[in-house]
Amino acid sequence: MTRFRLGLENIKDRYDCVVGADPADLTVALYLTKFNVNTTAISKDISCRMAVAPPVDDHSEVSNVPGARLAEPFENRVKKHSITMVISEAVVNIRRECGL
């Protein structure tokens, strides 16, 4: 797994990054933390696609729930697993350092 050094002031260690904060991105971040991977998610905004999604009615645990309401369970799980979130930052370049 490749590790990247982030040029953001509030992140001082090395993290495995998930770029984005949509449902799939946050699911990846949650799985990484289950394997003790130091994880951060970076996104310009959180769950923007989820907020405008039509009601979800094809999941066994969900019935006719607006997309915007689905963001709350993701947010709760991210907080529970102490995933670092960097919101309002755009990733414009990713490069390798030190032969990683």
Instruction: Compute the distance between CA of residue 89 and CA of residue 100 in angstroms, rounded to an integer.
Output: 24
Instruction: Compute the distance between CA of residue 71 and CA of residue 52 in angstroms, rounded to an integer.
Output: 11
pLDDT interval class at 54 (50, 70, 90): low
CATH number of this structure's domain 16-87, picked from the four choices 3.50.50.60, 3.20.20.450, 3.40.190.10, 1.10.3720.10: 3.50.50.60
Q: What's residue 2's pLDDT?
A: 47
Higher per-residue pLDDT: 92 or 66: 92
Q: What is the pTM of this model?
A: 0.60
The two tokens of residue 75 are 């947010």
Nearest Cα to 33, choosing from 49, 17, 57? Answer: 17
Q: What's residue 33's pLDDT?
A: 86
CA-based end-to-end distance of the chain: 9
Does 90 have pLDDT greater than 70? yes
Of 33-37, 41-45, 47-51, the range with the lowest mean pLDDT is: 47-51
16: left (phi over 0), alpha (psi -120 to 50) or beta: beta
Does 88 have pLDDT greater than 60? yes
The domain segmentation of the chain, as residue ranges, is 16-87
The two tokens of residue 19 are 């770029």
Question: In this predicted model, what pLDDT tens digit does every residue of 7-40 receive, in sequence order?
Answer: 444 445 666 777 777 777 888 888 888 888 888 8
Q: What's residue 1's pLDDT?
A: 46
